[in-house]
Structure 1
Amino acid sequence: MARVLLLFCVVFVTIYQSEQAHFLSREYINKINSVAKTWTAGINFHPNTHIDEIKGLLGSYSIGSKKIELVKSNDPVYSYTNEIPAEFDARERWQECKSIGTVRDQGKCGSCWALSTTSAFSDRLCIATDGEFNEILSAENLAFCCWTCGFGCNGGFPLQAWRYFKWRGVVTGGSYNTTEGCQPYRVAPCITDERGQNTCDGEEIEKNHKCEKKCYGNTEIDIKKDRRYTRDAYYLTPRAIQHDLMAYGPIEASFDVYSDFISYKYGVYHKTENATLLGGHSVKLIGWGEEEGTPYWLLMNSWNEQWGDNGLFKILRGNNECKIEEHATAGVPYLN
C-alpha cells in the first residue's frame, strides 16, 4: 500500500510539473540562447506559470480554405507604392496617429483577435481621416457582441472581425478602467511587479462578458452614431502585404506560436529546432526592415509593454516564418 501511494505521488508530481510551462524555466531559456542566432530570449512570465495560462492567451483561428473573392492581391492605390523602401515603420510614417504606437493588454483573455483587428482599424481610420479620428475602437464591443466572429475570450476569427466591421460596425472604446469612448475594455491587464508577481497569477480565464447595448464609458455618446465601418474585408497575399500597409496602414497578422516565442526579448525571431507548437495568435503588423542582414516584419503584441521589446517583436521576413505571411487580414475604412 505504501509503495502504491508513493508511486501515485511520483506520478502526480510528474503530471503537475509537465502541466507547468517548462519552457519558461531559466534552463530552457538558456538553451534557446545557445542556438538562436538572430534573437535573444529572456524572462517574460513567471517560471511556475501553468501551460494552460499561456495557451489561454492564444486565440486566433483560421476559417479554413480562403474564398478567392476575399483574397486581395492588387489595388489601384498600390500604383503609388511601387517603390518598396528597405525599412518602414507606420509609427513614423503617420506620427499624428497615436493609436499606432499604443501597446494593448488583453489580460487573461484569448481576445488577441479582437485587439489586433480593432487596433489596426483604429490606425487605418486615423490615417484615412488625416488624424481627424484619433481614438481607439472597442475590442470589448467586438469580442463580446460579434456572435459570428468566434468565442470572445476563447478565441476568434480575424477575417470575420473585419466582415463584422463592414456589416455592423464597431464603436469606440479605450483601455481598461477608463471612460474613453463608448465601450472601454473591461478585462483587467496582467501587470508584473518588481518581485515578479503578476496580477493575473492564479486567476481563472476571464468569462465572456454580456454584450452591452449602450455606452458605459463616455455616456454622452450615442452608440448608434458612434459606429465605424469598413467598406470591405480581405486576406492579403504575401506580395500585397507591404503595399497595403503603405497605402492604408497597419494590418492584422496571425501566426503559429511556439514555446520559444513566449520568452522573446529582442532581435529577429525564428523558431528554434525543438520548440513545440502552442496555438495561433493574432497581432498587429506595423512595418518591416533589416537587422544585421536579416529581413524582418515589425509587429505589436497585446501582452503589454512588459513583454518582449517594449511590447513589440520582429520576426523573420520572406519565408512565411510560423505562417506569418499566410493569414494577414485587413479592410479599408468607409468614410461618410
Structure 2
Amino acid sequence: MARLAFSFSTLLCVAMFFGLWLPMVAPRQLEEATMSARFAQWMADHGVKYERIAETEKRFNVFKENLKLIDSVNAEKRSYTLSLNKFSDLSLDEFRNQYMGLNVDAAGRKMATKGPFMYGNVSAMAAAPDTMDWRAKGVVTPIKNQQNCGCCWAFSAAAAVESITKIKTGNSVSSSEQELVDCVTGGISRGCQSGLMDEAFKFIINNGGLSSENDYPYQAKDGTCDTQKSSSKAATITGFHDIPYHDENAMLSAVANQPISVGINGSGSEFRHYSGGIFTGACGLDLDHAVTIIGYGTGDDGTPYWLIKNSWGESWGENGYMKIQRGVNLCGISNLASFPLA
C-alpha cells in the first residue's frame, strides 16, 4: 500500500478546522470531526501517509468502523480493553490476507509421533502448578514481528522449539523462521501464504535441526531454500506430539512442562485490537492464525486464562502477549495444539 505525505497534512488541517468550530456544529458533524482528529493523530503515531485523497478517504472510513467497535467495547468495562494499533486502517479481508497464515488440513494431523499423549496421565495433570509463566524461567525469546507475511505458523513452531531447546540444553537461541518459510515444502505449507506447525516440526527433524536467526535472517517474504545458510543447526528436536483435540486439561498438562504451538481464530476485529486484560470477547472457531502458549493462570476476578506469545511485534497487546480465557475453547484454541520433543 503506497503511502506518501500529501494527505496527512490535509486531514490534520481539516481536523483542526473542525476543532476550532466545535460549538457550532451538529452532533454528527462533531463526531466526524472528532474521528478526523483521531485519525490524523493515529497517522502521525504510526508514520502512515497515503498517496491519494481517495485512498485517504477509504482508509478513514475503515478506521471509523474499527474505532467505533473499540470505543463500544471499552465503554462496557469488560475484562479486557481494545485500542487503536497498526492494523486499524485495514478491513477484515485485508487483515486476513496480510497477516493470517495457518493452513489447517486433516492430513497434517497424521504426522505426529505415534503413541499415547506423553503428558496425559493422571499424575502429570495433578502435578501441574496453579500458574505458569515460562518467561519467568528464561525460556521464552523476545517478541518477534512477522510483518505482512502470513507465516505465523513458522513463528509459532520456532518459538516452541526455542523454548524446549532452552529447557533441555540450557542454551538460549533465536531460531530461523525464514528457513521454515523457504524450506518447508512438499506438504500443505506455502511460506508467506500459509503453513502448519506440524510440518515445520517434521522438517526440523528431517533436516537435522533449525538454523539460528543470525545465520538465516528473517526477510518477511518468500525465498528459495538456502542450504548453505541452513548448514549450521542452532536447535534440534527428536519428534513432536499432537495434543488431543478440544482438550484444555491435556493442554494445561503440556504447558506445565513446556510452551506449545496452537491454532487460533485471530482475524476478528476484537482480537486484532486487543490491548490488555483477559480476553473473553467475540471470536470465531475457524482457525486462521498460529501462536504459542507460554503459560496460564487465573485473573483477580477468578477467570482462568492462557498466556499467549504472538508474532505481531511488541506494540500489539500486552507488549506482544495476550491473556485469553481458558476452559471454554475460546477462538478454537484447543482444536489444533502440538509441541516438539527434544
Q: TM-score under structure 1 normalisation?
A: 0.74
Task: Give the superposition deviation at 1:54.
Answer: 1.5
Please give the residue correspondences for 1:1-336 in structure 2 after superposition, counting only pairs within 5 Å: 17=58, 21=62, 25-35=66-76, 37-45=78-86, 47-55=88-96, 56-64=98-106, 66-67=109-110, 74-75=117-118, 79=123, 82-92=126-136, 94-95=137-138, 97=139, 100-129=140-169, 131=170, 133-147=171-185, 148=187, 150-174=189-213, 180=214, 182-187=215-220, 206=221, 208-215=222-229, 223-226=230-233, 228-237=235-244, 238=247, 239-247=249-257, 249-257=258-266, 258-272=268-282, 280-291=288-299, 292-333=301-342
Cα 1:76–1:88, aligned 2, differ >3 Å: closer, same or farther? closer
* Identity across the alignment (%): 25
Change (3 A) 1:281 1:138: same
Does the CA-based 8 Å contact 2:308-2:321 persist in structure 1?
yes
Change (3 A) 1:106 1:23: farther
Describe the SS at the equivalent of 2:337: strand
CA shift in 2, pair 1:88/1:240, >3 Å: same
| CA 1:28–1:76: 2 relative to 1, 3 Å | closer
> Could you say if the C-alpha distance between residues 43 and 125 of structure 1 is closer, same or farther in structure 2, counting changes exceeding 3 Å?
same
Shift of 1:322: 1.0
Cα distance in structure 1, aligned partners of 2:290 and 2:278: 18
Distance across 2 between alignment mates of 1:173 and 1:49: 33
**Higher normalized contact order (CA 8 Å, seq sep 6+, divided by chain length):** 1
Gaps in structure 2 of 5+ consecutive residues: 1-53
Task: Give the structure with the higher percent strand.
Answer: 1
Deviation, 1:42, is 0.7
CA distance in 2, matches of 1:321, 1:171: 32
> In structure 2, do the counterparts of structure 1 residues 17 and 141 end up closer, same or farther at CA, with 3 Å as the change threshold?
same
1:328 maps to amino acid: A
Which amino acid in 1 is paired with 2:83?
G
**CA separation in 1, counterparts of 2:64 and 2:272?**
8
Post-superposition CA distance 1:54-110 (Å, at most 9, x none): 112111121226449758763279646632222110112x22x3xx04101101100
Distance in 1, matches of 2:83 and 2:72, equals 11
| Offset from partner CA, 1:273-329 (integer Å, 9 cap, x none) | xx6788611011000001121110000110110111100001110011111011111
Tell me if the contact between 1:24 and 1:263 (Cα under 8 Å) persists in the aligned partners: no
Q: How far off its partner does 1:164 sit?
A: 1.6
Contact 1:59–1:279 (CA<8 Å) still a contact in 2? Answer: no
Q: List, as ranges, runs of 4+ consecutive aligned residues in structure 1 with deviation greater than 3 Å.
A: 16-24, 50-53, 65-74, 76-81, 275-279
Contact 1:171–1:183, Cα closer than 8 Å, also in 2? no
- Return the letter of the residue paired with 1:140: Q
Per the alignment, do residues 265 and 68 of structure 1 end up closer, same or farther by CA in structure 2, a change over 3 Å counting? same
Structure index of larger Rg? 2
Q: Secondary structure at the match of 1:226?
A: coil
Using a 3 Å threshold, how does the CA distance of structure 1 residues 89 and 46 change in structure 2: closer, same or farther? Answer: closer
**Partner Cα separation in structure 2 for residue 120 and residue 230 of structure 1:** 10
* Deviation (angstroms), 1:225: 4.6
Per-residue CA distance 1:142-180 (angstroms, 9 max, x = gap)? 111111351111110111111222222443232xxxxx2
Residues of 2 paired with 1:105 and 1:212: CA distance? Answer: 22
The offset of 1:35, in angstroms, is: 4.4
| 300-309 vs 51-60, which moves further | 51-60
Per the normalisation by structure 2, the TM-score is: 0.73
Distance 2:81 2:58 in 1: 25
